[in-house]
Chains A and B, each alone.
Chain A
Amino acid sequence: MDTEAVVTNIIENVIGVRGVSRDARFLDIGGNSLNLGAVLTQIYYKTGVAVPARMFFHKSDSTIAAITAKIDSQLKESQAALTISQ
């Protein structure tokens, strides 16, 4: 499964909504301080990336697409770091 599907799936399951689009912002679809913890934990568990909590409250960076991009860029960086250290 690609990162976007993983993120969408986690957010949909934790919040309890379906059909969330990639442009949907976390706070607009029922995300809040209470369910954010579970979203962060599950994203970390599934992707290994700790997304900063602040992103989920940001005006434009809190969409599924933006969060996915953040995770992908982190993953790329850590792979690059791994290549160098080898």
Chain B
Amino acid sequence: MRQHLLEDIRSHALAKPDQFAVCDSEVSINYGALDRFSTSLAMHLQAVGCKTGSRVVVVANRRAIIVAAILGIFKAGCIHVPLDPRMPAARLQYILNDIAPAVVITEEDLRETVGAYLPPQASLLLKEDLERILRLSAATDYVPASDVSLPGWLLDVPAYCIYTSGSTGRPKGVLIDHRNIVDFFEGTEQVYDVRAESVCASFSPLHFDVFLMDMLFPLAQGARLHVHDDIVVPDLLFQTIATHDVTHFSAWGLMLGLIAQASQFSTTPLPHLQTVLTGTDIPNVDTVQRWLRVGTGVKVINAYGPTEVTCASTAYTIRDLEPGRQELYPIGSPLKHVHTFLVGSEGERITQRNVPGELYIGGTQVMRGYWNLAAETEAAVRYLDGIRCYRSGDICIYQEDGSLFYIGRKDNEVNIGGYRVHLNEVRRVINSVPNVHDSEVVMVDSKYEEKVLAAGILLDESGKMRALDVDQQIIRIRARLRDELPSYMVPRYLAIFDDFPKLSSGKADRKALTSILTVRMTKEAEEVITAHGH
């Protein structure tokens, strides 16, 4: 069995203290400094009042030192809670209140925003403070720092908490233990072949649970990790891969397509590249095929898994060049410590090929639960054959070769730019605006391969009677959405309806609504162009 992640880091530090572990454009941290820095940070956290189980919120941009800080949080026995630095103030306030952190780690630029909502018991730690601790840790030759006051490398305590969109209309925190991580890493190493001699690059935001596979797994393996701390545009991402001779990196489906748009993509070979990890959304077949051709023996891993089951639960390895391929790639088979079941609408077990059912994902990667939401945890977890499972809400089939293939969602959840969005959360905000009776939110495709939201809105009787100015009402709704939700959750297009198209059951016909909204959205964009007289 694998050991605790922190034990991995300690053994690399002892064996090769001077090998660089993680770097960005500002710093390069070797394994010795990484071990010492994380110990010093853990002691600092203790000194400011952190105990085992205390929450440490991290609201920061992707930087090597922040990646190193995660290990310090773990060493102190605290729960790492990464948040999107771009989230609107109201959401940040809600989450800080919900998680009640002991410490918030942030950067100078965000100090004011974060400071305004800092709970009274919490203290603020800036990136500059971390840099000071790092300088002291890296000053002398490596010897493991004394850490007798630290809680030790516990497996059955929560490691991190990731907030995800909730069906109740509010974000909810998913709690993952160190034991979940150990078992996830043991499964991961069988498919994602990062080894001590690998060079990895990380492009993912810190608040996605991909950080586990993308940043911490390479460090656990003793590899070298380049953290891309610049903006996410094709040429810069591609340059990172090419100039550092990167062997492994991960990028969600659309990002993989984006990097392939780099101007040098078809002219610059990537002879060092071995494995590309993708997932989160269904990867485009052409994009995958283009990546397979950038070097000999390159493979693409299509990984799948909800945050609740520790980052990834299943994986499918793609090696074959198939220029004419049309059909989408499957999500493959379960990782080592994962069990998957397909369950039909009557609760029956599905084992036949090509019969759709809900995917239940079981085993030791399943989360501890949602933060402070016992009822929701209970609703999400089921025992099948004595195995603790998470009900994913994803509908899948078994393909002829036995691989799992993703069909769609059971409920109102969609995936936008790698973010899970529960449409109820968007609806809750729209419906909270005065004079709104109800709304339906659907996902439509933009011209630029983005998935975007569009909303149809019904006004209540008083709103209709007062013949509210439609444009004004839409501006009000949009303003409320911007105040409360991150920009990827704000519908691009809002339209007021007298009534929604209905199914025979009386429910809103969401398919018909989607096509109406798509047509209206495209048509209005054209009208704007014509009005400007081009």
Contacts and interface: CB of A to CB of B under 8 A. Distances in A.
A38 B385 CA distance: 52
A30 interface: yes
Interface stretch (B291-299, B360-368, B434-442, B444-452): B444-452
A38 B525 CA distance: 15
A2 to B, nearest CB: 12
B231 A30 contact: no
A10 to B, nearest CB: 10
Contacts of B469: none
Contact of A34 (B258, B493, B528, B532): B258
A32 B532 contact: no
Given A28-B482, A30-B487, A16 B233 contact: no
B231 A57 contact: yes
A14 interface: yes
B521 interface: yes
B234 interface: yes
Nearest to B259: A33
A59 B109 contact: yes
Nearest to B258: A33
Interface string B480-494: 001000011010110
B107 to A, nearest CB: 11
A18 B482 CA distance: 14
A29 B479 CA distance: 11
Contact of A32 (B450, B475, B482): B450
A18 B526 CA distance: 12
Given A28-B482, A34-B254, A38-B448, A19 B475 contact: yes
A34 B475 contact: no
Given A13-B529, A16-B446, A38-B448, A27 B487 contact: yes
Kindly name the residue among A27, A29, A33 whose own CB sees the greatest number of chain B CB atoms within 10 A. A33
Interface string A1-42: 100010001001111111100000001111011111110000
A32 B417 contact: yes
B145 interface: no
Interface in B97-147: 109
Interface in B500-534: 521, 524-525, 528-529, 532
B493 A36 contact: no
Contacts of A17: 492-493
A79 B234 CA distance: 31
A53 interface: yes
A77 to B, nearest CB: 24
A13 B528 contact: yes
Nearest to A18: B528
Contacts of A37: 234, 261, 448
A37 B233 CA distance: 8
Kindly name the residue among A5, A16, A56 whose own CB sees the greatest number of chain B CB atoms within 10 A. A16
Contact of B233 (A1, A12, A36): A36
Nearest to A15: B492
Contacts of A9: 528-529, 532
A36 B237 CA distance: 15
B232 A27 contact: no
A17 B109 CA distance: 28
A8 to B, nearest CB: 10
Nearest to B233: A53
Nearest to B236: A53
Interface in B256-292: 258, 261
B410 interface: no
Nearest to B261: A37
B489 to A, nearest CB: 10
Contacts of B86: 27
Contacts of A35: 446, 448, 450
A27 to B, nearest CB: 6
Given A27-B487, A30-B452, A30-B492, A13 B525 contact: yes
B62 to A, nearest CB: 12
A70 B505 CA distance: 56
B448 A33 contact: no
B487 A34 contact: no
A27 B449 CA distance: 17
A51 B532 CA distance: 23
Contacts of B490: 30
B478 to A, nearest CB: 8
Contacts of B232: 33, 57
A71 B55 CA distance: 46
Interface of A: 1, 5, 9, 12-19, 27-30, 32-38, 53-54, 56-57, 59
Given A33-B231, A54-B231, 14 more contacts: A9-B529, A13-B528, A16-B521, A17-B492, A19-B475, A27-B86, A30-B452, A34-B258, A35-B448, A35-B450, A53-B231, A53-B233, A57-B232, A59-B109
6 contacts: A13-B529, A27-B487, A34-B258, A35-B448, A54-B230, A56-B231
